[in-house]
């Protein structure tokens, strides 16, 4: 038996811990579909987050609160089919974990059954009992504090969080509660780099950031933000654009439409060939049909 081609080793929470030990930042990006998962996996992303931001990026909702578990699981299964190496993290949508620990465990389990290696939920101390319940069910779970889009009404909009020492201390308290409850990691969203560093220096769990500066264990970006395919008004300061996929798609479809209207597409090379004799017979039959009709 030959063992010439080594199988791809899946990123796990242990891999993430060893990245931190080596001082190497982990690369996170959202993915919601099969092709993006394949491309991100091939590009070497360590973690694919199937974010509830799919509500906005994929479904055109105004915010993240209207996406359902069923919709999240469709996106999640597609991403899990595409990710061969990356850890896939399922983002628990609004009301999939708040009401009871039993519901939180069942919904977290549905993400695991779909192929996820971990789940994420929003909140700190107030959702710590749910984190404990999910962790006790044997599921790797992480929290998310700072700007938490599912609580947009309470936060009063997309606002930077943790801008004072008192606010940073409240965030730290939330992260410590998550750690105590068994979370393996936390995501910090939209806060000054100093606040993120203040938190990271005082906790043991892995700390990732989106819009939280460089002093964390890795960076998350929303795929549509960096690829230039988000349709909407929100343009966070922390986004760096690496492509203009939206503009490229629009340009390509304009060119296609122009070719159809000008009869330039399809061209001969896009048509299936048949034998010359058969072509002559078909053309003759068509002519005969026209003669009978006229």
Residue 189 found at the interface with ligand KIV (CB under 6 A): yes
Structure tokens belonging to residue 95: 């009301």
**Stretch binding ligand KIV (CB under 6 A), from 11-19, 47-55, 151-159, 234-242:** 47-55
- The C-alpha R_g of the chain, in whole angstroms, comes to 25
Which residue's CB is nearer to ligand KIV, number 53 or number 161?
Answer: 53
The residues facing 123 across adjacent strands are: 144
Structure tokens belonging to residue 83: 């990710």
Q: Give min distance, CB of 92 to ligand KIV, in A.
A: 10
**Alpha-carbon distance 126 to 131, whole Å?**
10
Total of chain residues touching ligand KIV, rule CB under 6 A: 12
Annotation marks residue 189 as catalytic: yes
- DSSP structure class, residue 165: H
Q: Give min distance, CB of 150 to ligand KIV, in A.
A: 9
Residue 73 found at the interface with ligand KIV (CB under 6 A): no
Classify the phi-psi angles of 157: left when phi > 0, otherwise alpha if psi is within -120 to 50, otherwise beta. Answer: left
Q: Give min distance, CB of 53 to ligand KIV, in A.
A: 3
Which residue's CB is nearer to ligand KIV, number 234 or number 253?
Answer: 234
Residue 53 found at the interface with ligand KIV (CB under 6 A): yes
Structure tokens belonging to residue 247: 């503009």
Residue 124 found at the interface with ligand KIV (CB under 6 A): no
**Alpha-carbon distance 3 to 16, whole Å?**
27
Number of H helices, E strands in the chain: 12, 8
Active site residues: 189
Would you tell me which residues interact with ligand KIV (CB under 6 A)? 30, 49, 51-53, 91, 144, 187, 189, 210, 220, 222
């Amino acid at each position: 038996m030959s063992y010439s081609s080594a199988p791809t080793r899946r990123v796990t929470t242990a891999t993430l811990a060893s990245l931190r030990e080596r001082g190497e930042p982990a690369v996170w990006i959202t993915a919601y579909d099969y092709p993006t998962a394949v491309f991100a996996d091939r590009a070497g992303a360590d973690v694919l987050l199937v974010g509830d931001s799919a509500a906005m990026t994929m479904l055109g909702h105004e915010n993240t609160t209207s996406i359902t578990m069923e919709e999240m699981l469709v996106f999640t299964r597609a991403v899990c089919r595409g990710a061969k190496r990356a850890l896939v993290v399922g983002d628990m949508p609004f009301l999939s974990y708040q009401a009871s620990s039993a519901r939180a465990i069942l919904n977290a389990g549905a993400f695991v059954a779909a192929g996820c290696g971990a789940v994420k939920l929003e909140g700190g101390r107030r959702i710590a009992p749910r984190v404990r319940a999910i962790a006790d069910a044997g599921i790797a779970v992480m929290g998310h504090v700072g700007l938490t889009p599912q609580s947009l009404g309470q936060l009063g909009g997309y606002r930077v969080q943790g801008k004072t020492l008192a606010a940073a201390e409240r965030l730290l308290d939330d992260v410590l509660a998550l750690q105590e409850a068994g979370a393996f990691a936390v995501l910090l969203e939209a806060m000054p780099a100093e606040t993120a560093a203040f938190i990271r220096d005082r906790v043991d769990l892995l700390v990732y950031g989106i819009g939280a500066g460089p002093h964390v264990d890795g960076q998350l970006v929303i795929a549509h933000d960096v690829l230039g395919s988000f349709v909407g008004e929100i343009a966070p300061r922390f986004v760096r654009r690496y492509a203009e996929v939206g503009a490229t798609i629009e340009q390509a479809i304009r060119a296609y439409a122009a070719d159809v209207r000008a009869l330039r597409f399809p061209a001969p090379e896009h048509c299936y060939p048949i034998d010359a004799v058969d072509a002559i017979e078909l053309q003759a039959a068509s002519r005969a049909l026209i003669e009978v009709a006229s």
